[in-house]
Amino acid sequence: MKLTYGEVIDGLSVDGAAVRAAVFDENAVRAAAGVTMALGALAFGYAFFANVYPPIQVITVFFFVEFLIRVTAGLTYSPVGVLARWLTRRVPPEWVSAKPKRFAWTLGLVMSLAMAVITNVGIRGALPATICLICLVLMWFEAVLGRCLGCEIHGLLVRRGWATKDPAFEICANGACAVPRQPSSA
């Protein structure tokens, strides 16, 4: 049995072209971003306004595990992903390529690891507050506006020639990973 990152949907097409790559439901992705944003904002509020740090210490470790599962196995197997899929079960799926989300979640994995280490060794002040606020803004963009900034970054890297176009990047929300076609030379 071959493991696939994301779901492969037989017969899925975009603009008349068959989609070959694995996909995730954008609605579930956005719901997961909303759940993690709410948890992160609650923990940040306790740390920043009340100087109560155990919630942010626990949440940052949880986020690290959550993003590790998302990056390695996908949203389907992560605890927040299970909840997000349940929350969106009655909404028709909006499919997006899995790999751009993996790139974005890798950024989340790195930031959550940094925050888990920083908060659990007792570092307080501007550094963890800044990283936490960046994370919250990124999750807000995904959950509320449907803008995957990690997907946007990947698209920018490809357009600048700093990364190669992956054929598995076929459908991105809001065209985030679209690469303009090069004019053919005649």
CA separation for the pair 107, 113 (Å, rounded): 10
Of 26-35, 82-91, 110-119, 148-157, least confident by mean pLDDT is 148-157
pLDDT tens for 118-157 read 999 999 999 999 999 999 999 999 999 999 998 888 778 8
Residue 122 confidence (pLDDT): 94
> Which of these, 30, 44, 65, 63, lies nearest to 132 by C-alpha position?
44
Considering the chain, what is the average pLDDT of its residues? 88
Given a cut of 80, whether residue 172 has pLDDT beyond it is: no
Residue 183 confidence (pLDDT): 53
Residue 114 confidence (pLDDT): 96
pLDDT-based confidence at residue 186 (cuts at 50, 70, 90) = very low
DSSP letters of the chain? Answer: ----SSB--TT-EETTEEP-S-EEEHHHHHHHHHHHHHHHHHHHHHHHHH---HHHHHHHHHHHHHHHHHHHT-GGGSHHHHHHHHHTTTSPP-EEEHHHHHHHHHHHHHHHHHHHHHHHTT--SHHHHHHHHHHHHHHHIIIII---HHHHHHHHHHHTTSSPPPTT----GGGTT--PPPPPP-
Of 1-10, 98-107, 148-157, least confident by mean pLDDT is 1-10
- pTM for the structure as a whole: 0.88
